[in-house]
Structures are given as C-alpha cells and as structure tokens.
Amino acid sequence: MMRRGLSGLRGNNLPLLGARSVSSYIGAMLWFASVIFLPLAEATALGYTMPLFVTLGAVLFLGEVVRKRRWWALFAGFAGTLIILRPGIEAITWPAMFAIGGALFIAISALMVKVLSRNDSPDTIVLYMAMFSTPLSFVAATFVWVTPSLETLLWLIGIGMASTLAHLAYTRSFAIADASAVLPYDYLRLLMVAAVGFAIYGEVLDFWTWVGTAVIVGSTFYIARREAITARKSTTEPSSASPLQ
C-alpha cells in the first residue's frame, strides 16, 4: 500500500475480492488442521491436488477448453489421490479430507484471482485479502483464544515471515519463467518436508503414499507443461480472426 498509495485501495469488484479472501481463509484453516494431524509430507502431497481443481474449475466456471490429454492428466491426478487415501482398504480420515478441502478452497481462490486480475492489479488483490481475512480470522480466534507465550509468538512471527517470503519468491519465479520450468522445483518441497518430518518428528511415509504422490506430481506437471506449450503457440501463431471480431 505504501508503494501504490491510495490507488491500491480502488478495487473494482469488492464482492468478489471479499469472497476470494474468505475462500483463502478457509483454505488456510483446513491446511493448518491437516498439518496438525497428518504427516507433513502426506498433507503436502494431498495439497498438490490444487492444480487439478483449478483446471477442472476453469472448465466448469470460466469456459476454458481442455483437450483430451489434459482430461487424462486430471483422471490420473484423481487416481493418485485415491492411491494415497486408499478408500475401502482403510477409512478415509478427517485430516486427509481437511488437506483436500484446503486444496479445493485455495483452487477456488486462484480461479477468483484469474477473474479479478482482469480489472485489478495483483498488489490490490493481495492487499484486499489481508484487509478482509485478518479481521475475519481475529473474530474466529476470539472463540478459542489463548494468549501466546513469547516462544509461541516468535514461532508465529516466523510462520508469517516464511510464508510471505515464499509467496514473493514463488510469484516472482512465475513472472520470469514458464510454469513448466518452475513447477519441477516446487516438487522439491515435498522432499524437503519429508526430510524435516522424518528428522524432527520421526514421520515415515508408506510405499503407497509415495506412489500416489508420484502420480499426482506427474499429472500436475503434465498439465503445467501443456499450458506452457499452448501459451507459446498462442503468442507465436498469427491470429486468423478479423480485426473487427
């Protein structure tokens, strides 16, 4: 806001900006709930379903055209999720549903951002998310409020700083490189999380969780690569439409 001045407050679609903030807030709450009860790597793996939800939502609500190969990638990602959850072999747990629900609401938020970005700058969209979600989370927190100790407060500050720096770095990476070039590095996060979970908490993932993760990662990487190829073609091929169309 200091950089943009009062112009950063001029949102062109306040209802949608508010809805996007609520969706992001719910997604964050579900994600934190899943991390509390699930191994870190498993919660992260289930969170990788978010690009699948975004692609499906773009078809259903934004009218985007998805070709046959991307549909197969979506089905493969769904299969990978089933491999991790293994319904029928063992009961699907609420923490696992929290992780998938968090990915769903974050995907909804991403779709709203795509619509909002037609008329609002990214800075304005991020600013309104903070303005709406901060008081919303404060109201919810008052029902279960426990004054944090100094140590807990330092951890919370660390979470805020790490999340903000990660968001800035992630956004900048997509601004200077194709998604297909960036996304493989994002999957290193799963290995890092698995290493931290094992070293600090003694968490060990089973074989089928790794198999399902590989399927989800492969399908989302394929979708990102196809989107990058399509985008390059659309910028290099001359349009056949009349200037009047």
Query: Any residues with CB less than 8 A from the CB of 198 and at least 6 apart, and which?
Result: 204
Burial 207-236 (b: 16+ CB within 10 A, else e): eebbebbebbbebbbbbbbbbbeeeeeeee
In the chain, alpha helices (H): 14-37, 40-47, 50-61, 68-85, 94-116, 122-142, 150-176, 179-186, 188-201, 207-236
Of the candidates 215, 207, 223, the one whose C-alpha atom is nearest the C-alpha of residue 81 is: 215
Count of domains for the chain: 1
Kindly compute the dihedral angle of the four CA atoms of residues 137, 141, 146, 147, in this order, to the nearest 10 degrees.
Answer: 40
Q: Is residue 240 part of a domain?
A: no
Q: Is residue 244 part of a domain?
A: no
Q: Is the pLDDT of residue 210 over 80?
A: yes
Q: Is residue 75 part of a domain?
A: yes
pTM over 0.85: no
High-pLDDT (> 90) share of the chain, %: 17
Average pLDDT over residues 208-230: 77
Residue 139: CB atoms within 10 Å = 8
Q: Is residue 141 part of a domain?
A: no
Average pLDDT over residues 18-25: 91
Residue 223 sits in which domain range? Answer: 12-134+148-234
Q: Is residue 3 part of a domain?
A: no
C-alpha distances (whole Å) from 44 to each of 35, 40, 50, 155 are: 8, 6, 11, 20
What average pLDDT does the chain have? 80
Of the candidates 48, 15, 16, the one whose C-alpha atom is nearest the C-alpha of residue 31 is: 48
Q: Is residue 2 part of a domain?
A: no
pLDDT digits (tens, 9 = 90+) for 60-116: 887 877 677 777 777 887 888 778 777 665 657 888 899 999 999 988 988 888 888
pLDDT digits (tens, 9 = 90+) for 113-127: 888 878 887 777 878
Q: Is residue 7 part of a domain?
A: no
Residue at token pair 């009062």 = 6
Q: Is residue 123 part of a domain?
A: yes
Give me 71's structure tokens. Answer: 């549909």
pLDDT computed for residue 240 by the predictor: 43
Say how many CA atoms lie within 13 Å of 224 toward its Cβ: 23
